[in-house]
């Protein structure tokens, strides 16, 4: 198996110590195993991402001598591909549009926490077939199975099991 690691910073400011740590671990792991270290810039937050921040991250990585083998790849350059995959997921029933507003989700989270429950999305739009509410742009959520489990053979922690009932329909 070929090892490929990646560092995927959001260009919303300088390279901070946590990002440098993540990049260093990914870089060292790839080098130790004869693999590739990839730089992928998560520039999809168009309101906060700036070219100056991209430059600051690249300069920080150069200062740390963290040389990437591939990239930098910019997420915004792949938007057409992402839209095509979203269309496939929607058509196959593996994803759906969610119209819950941020305010409604915040209220849901607060109520769940007040009751001592784990905060999570309540699937209110999982099987929605009605007219979408006006003025609420949809997000796409993965339709996670409600039963069963996900088993991962993690290189550090070994066999890790997640119950689907504990997972959310992620955006």
CATH number at residue 101: 3.90.800.10
Q: What is the pLDDT of residue 136?
A: 86
Reading the block at residue 123, the tokens are 């699937």
Q: Mean pLDDT throughout 34-39?
A: 97
Q: Mean pLDDT throughout 63-71?
A: 95
What is the chain's mean pLDDT, rounded? Answer: 94
- Map tokens 């290189």 to a residue: 155
**Domain check: are 65 and 118 in the same one?**
no
Cβ distance 142 to 69 under 8 Å?
A: no
* pLDDT of 41 above 90: yes
| pTM, to two decimals | 0.75
**Domain check: are 68 and 127 in the same one?**
no
Q: Would you place residue 156 in the very low, low, confident or very high pLDDT band (cuts 50, 70, 90)?
A: confident
The verdict on residue 81 lying in a domain is: no
**Domain check: are 69 and 97 in the same one?**
no
User: In terms of pLDDT, which residue wins out, 44 or 22?
Assistant: 22
Classify residue 92 by burial, with Cβ atoms within 10 Å: 0-12, 13-18, 19+: exposed
The verdict on residue 164 lying in a domain is: no
Q: Would you place residue 108 in the very low, low, confident or very high pLDDT band (cuts 50, 70, 90)?
A: very high
How many CA within 13 A on the CB side of residue 114?
6
- Domain containing 20: what range? 4-75
N- to C-terminal Cα distance for the chain?
30
Closest CA to 63 of 23, 30, 8, 3: 23
Q: Mean pLDDT throughout 65-85?
A: 94
Strands 36-41 and 70-74: parallel
Q: What is the pLDDT of residue 46?
A: 82
Q: What is the pLDDT of residue 142?
A: 96
The verdict on residue 87 lying in a domain is: no
**Domain check: are 67 and 98 in the same one?**
no
The verdict on residue 22 lying in a domain is: yes
Q: What is the pLDDT of residue 135?
A: 86
**Domain check: are 64 and 26 in the same one?**
yes
The verdict on residue 80 lying in a domain is: no
**Domain check: are 60 and 13 in the same one?**
yes
**Domain check: are 19 and 70 in the same one?**
yes
**Domain check: are 99 and 136 in the same one?**
yes
Q: What is the pLDDT of residue 86?
A: 96
The total domain count for the chain is 2
The verdict on residue 167 lying in a domain is: no
* pLDDT of 22 above 80: yes
**Domain check: are 66 and 103 in the same one?**
no
């Amino acid at each position: 198996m070929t090892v490929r690691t990646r560092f995927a910073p959001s260009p919303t400011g300088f390279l901070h110590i946590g990002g440098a740590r993540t990049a260093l671990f990914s870089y060292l792991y790839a080098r130790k195993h004869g693999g590739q270290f990839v730089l992928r810039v998560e520039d999809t937050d168009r309101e906060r991402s700036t070219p100056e921040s991209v430059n600051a991250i690249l300069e920080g990585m150069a200062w740390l001598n963290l040389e990437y083998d591939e990239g930098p790849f910019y997420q915004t350059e792949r938007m057409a591909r992402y839209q095509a995959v979203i269309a496939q997921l929607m058509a196959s029933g593996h994803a759906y549009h969610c119209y819950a507003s941020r305010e409604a989700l915040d209220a849901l989270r607060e109520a769940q926490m007040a009751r001592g429950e784990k905060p999570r999305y309540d699937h209110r739009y999982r099987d929605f077939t009605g007219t979408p509410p006006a003025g609420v742009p949809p997000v796409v959520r993965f339709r996670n199975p409600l039963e069963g489990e996900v088993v991962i053979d993690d290189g550090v922690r070994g066999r890790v099991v997640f119950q689907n009932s504990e997972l959310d329909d992620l955006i």
